[in-house]
A and B are shown apart, each in its own frame.
Chain A
């Protein structure tokens, strides 16, 4: 049972363009939504995260937009660069527990081309 649905599976963006990755969830108990970035041959690393009490969080070129009523959140990468080419995972967590502390989407492979 997939609790976090991520789209698209892959994305090709021109250098300087905006990359947008979307995630949707069903469990209203989720209260923490991180995004992880993974380069080939490496482990995922936390990129940016948001809690549902805010609708947007920005760190440099990376912005998370959060729509609590729609149960959706998205990652926007402004001025995308070839160095941003990586796989991105959204995730969700509920402090109420259960047997899955952090649930991941299936990932989006981003390629930024010059």
Chain B
């Protein structure tokens, strides 16, 4: 049982490049989330999708866009990467909004 799967695991981008982080869950969860983790800052919510067909901004949405492709998949796009977006990104899901959140393994992104 894979749970929450993120790709890629590691990525180096040049400033101004774009990229999409992919996320899929196989737990039939309704809600999905994207967090970023930075040293000393904890986990900060970028965007979330409480249910298929809806997306909402979290604490730090600037510079990102998301797409809830279907119930399983929730992607995060950086349109024009900036060094400030160097971070570890975690996708997560929960059965419903407010239930226990399950995290993926993380995607390490470096913007140079």
Residues of A within 8 A of B (CB): 6, 9, 32, 34, 36, 41-46, 49, 89, 93, 95, 97, 99-102, 104-107
Contacts and interface: CB of A to CB of B under 8 A. Distances in A.
Contacts of A99: 56-59
Interface stretch (B13-21, B64-72, B97-105): B97-105
B53 interface: no
Interface in B56-112: 56-59, 90, 92, 97-98, 100-106
Given A43-B104, A101-B48, A9 B57 contact: no
Given A45-B103, A99-B58, A107 B98 contact: no
A102 B56 contact: no
A101 B104 contact: no
B40 A43 contact: no
A95 B98 contact: yes
Interface in B22-79: 31, 33, 40-45, 48, 50, 56-59
